Structure formats: structure tokens, C-alpha cells
Amino acid sequence: MALGEYRRDKDESPMQVAIKVLKKEDARLQLLEEACVMAQVDHPNLVRSLGVCTTGRPMMLVLEFAAHGPLNDFLKEHSTGLAKMSPEMQMQASMDVLEGMAYLEAVGLIHRDLAARNVLLDHEYRCKVSDFGLAKFGSDDDTYYVAENLDALPVRWLAPEALEHQKCGS
């Protein structure tokens, strides 16, 4: 990620933005798919897409800036991790992520990569879900993998309901 400034028009004061720069030219389609997904969602607990630059090289995705960066880095930087976050901050962080993910579920979007590294903290330490590179819109008629036994499932990363039903989405 790079940092930049963004203005809607020349009279507006610039705001700081994050810029996701395409590293490999063969990943153009993936970045465009991520930009397309982000353009279809809007919630206070999701990182907003402000635009995409497809002319010239490299291609770039312009995103809302999160001043305090990824949640996992924040926890590592504060030597005692969660102990540095007050119970109120922990609860607020949990609620922020929950609300963002509930919105995604309501619009039928499956994130598929929710992790602390993909939760960003803004200037008010509010959490915003980011990185929609693996996201996809799903439906009830999608194909699922049904396991014969739990040994065939990646248990460490599965949601409890996936374990209960021994069924994973693609």
C-alpha cells in the first residue's frame, strides 16, 4: 500500500488515501474484480473504495485511509496486545467487525478472508473490514463441499456452523 492525496475537485482540500498498487501485471483482472465488489458495498465498518485508476501503469485502487493500520499490527506494537485495549475498546472493535460482516451477509457477499490483518483501525480506533480480493457474491444454490469426516476440513479456519454441518462454501 502507498499513501496519497485525493480531491473531488480542485477547490476541495485534499484528504489522505491509501493506494493499492498492482504489483503483477497478470493480476489486473483480480484488482478490477476487487474494485467491482467494493463499488457495490457501502457501510461505516467497511473500508470504502474511492476510485480505481486503470489508465497507465501500474493500475491502482484508491481506498479510504485508516490512520492506525491493521488490527494485528496494532496489537503487536502494543507489547501486551489485548491487555492494552480497554474492555470498552475490545467490545467496540468486536461490534464494528460484527456490524461490517452482518452488512456483507445481508447483501449476499462472502468475504472469505476475514483476519485481524484485514481489519483496519481508523483515526478514531474504529474497525473497518478491508481486503475484498477473495470476496464473492453467493447464493443458496452455490455449490458446497460436503466432508465425509472432520479430518477433510481445515478446522482452524472454519466457522462453527461449517464444522457443525461439515459443509464449506467455495
The catalytic residues are 113
CA dihedral (40, 41, 47, 50) positive or negative: positive
Task: Please report where in the chains the cell 466457522 appears, as a residue.
Answer: 159
Distance in angstroms (rounded) separating the CA atoms of residues 116 and 135: 16
User: Are the CB atoms for 97 and 45 separated by under 8 Å?
Assistant: yes
Beta strands in 12-103 (DSSP E): 15-21, 49-53, 60-64, 69-70
What type of residue sits at position 37? V
